[in-house]
Amino acid sequence: MTLVLITGGAGFVGGHVAEALLAAGHDVRLLDDLHPAAHATDAEPLVPEGAQWVRGDVRDGAVVAAALRGVDAVCHQAAMVGLGTEIGDIADYVSHNDLGTAVLLRELARTRTPPRLVQASSMVVYGEGRYRCPTHGVVRPGARRRSDLDAGRFEPPCPTCGAPLTAELVPEDAPADPRNVYAATKLHQEHLAEAFSRETGVPVTSLRYHNVYGPRMPRDTPYAGVASIFASALAAGRAPRVFEDGGQRRDFVHVRDVARANVLALLAAEPVPGAFNVCSGEPRTVGEMARALQAAHGDAPDPVVTGEYRLGDVRHVVADPARARTVLGFTAREDFLVGMAEFAHAPLRATSGR
């Protein structure tokens, strides 16, 4: 039996990881400060039966040191999520994500805790996905120009010749290119963990989640994912508003699959250090996702394609699942249409906003 500390353990992904570990017969300790971006202030934390819970901030070294006592592995989920497109949020993102990670790593080193560390990273570290030009091969498009977006030209062209590009699967060794504040903090978390691992010898696994969805996802908040925003609109009888032309390709992965990936990394017979895409392996467009949710509601209004855009968004990010399958032993199991039908009527997590 293993005792696993989960930071952010009362949150969306952390709660599902806790349930999966408990179901497998392991002990779980949750550390969470119930940040209002993910929790309603008057709500009890979602603590599965049998789990220990410590209310505290991962940026508080004394709290972290106490939470680490006796643990065999650490699952680091605590973070402020979302785009982080407003520069006024930059200090909060850096504090919660990077300082929080730094304090956790410091206390792991100070207490000489021997566990392996599995941490939540994100597809956002890639920026735009992988693209191929028929003439110039694999290329890296720059940020899309406002003038092109205003004109409805959403596909990034070849940066050398301007030709149309083909989107390909993004492997873990693709160059990092964070395009917003949140992305920059997640990449920095990976770098901090790599430095910690080199100094201490503690193996670190970084799981790069793609578009996670599922029951108990936060709703009605700037930090919620697009699936949650669409589901909340449909539940209120409103049409989902699909930005651009709806053709943006993403990999929507169910939270139960994400939890299983964490369990595999935490409990593997030997540590599996490095970065792994945690994805379904079946790319879908944002428009497809909106229509799947709408179909599950039956009489709900059809999605509206607005042509609006956000400068922090990228066009296509489609993951290569091969390394996670080969090294981690992870393959997603949840069917997209079945998962979206469940999600359309699943309870979402109330929050109190920023």
Which CATH number do you get for residue 108?
Answer: 3.40.50.720
What is the predicted pLDDT for the residue at 224? 57
Contact at 8 Å (CB) between 163 and 155?
A: no
36 & 84 share domain: yes
Task: Tell me if the pTM is above 0.85.
Answer: yes
67 & 184 share domain: yes
Q: Which of 143, 146, 164, 168 is nearest to 155 (CA)?
A: 164
What is the predicted pLDDT for the residue at 114? 75
CA angle 268, 19, 109 (to 5 degrees): 55
139 & 160 share domain: yes
Number of domains in the chain: 2
Q: State what percent of residues in the chain have pLDDT above 90.
A: 77
Contact at 8 Å (CB) between 321 and 123?
A: no
124 & 139 share domain: no
Q: Is the pLDDT of residue 322 over 80?
A: yes
200 belongs to a structural domain: yes
Q: State what percent of residues in the chain have pLDDT above 70.
A: 92
354 belongs to a structural domain: no
121 & 153 share domain: no
Calculate mean pLDDT across residues 101-124. Answer: 93
138 & 207 share domain: no
164 & 175 share domain: no
44-58 confidence digits (pLDDT tens): 567 788 899 999 999
Calculate mean pLDDT across residues 271-291. Answer: 96
65 & 114 share domain: yes
DSSP string across 205-255: EEEEE-EEE-TT-B-SSTTS-HHHHHHHHHHTTPPPEE-TTS--EE-EEEH
CA distance 97 to 92: 8
124 belongs to a structural domain: yes
Range of the domain at 156: 130-169
171-180 confidence digits (pLDDT tens): 999 999 998 8
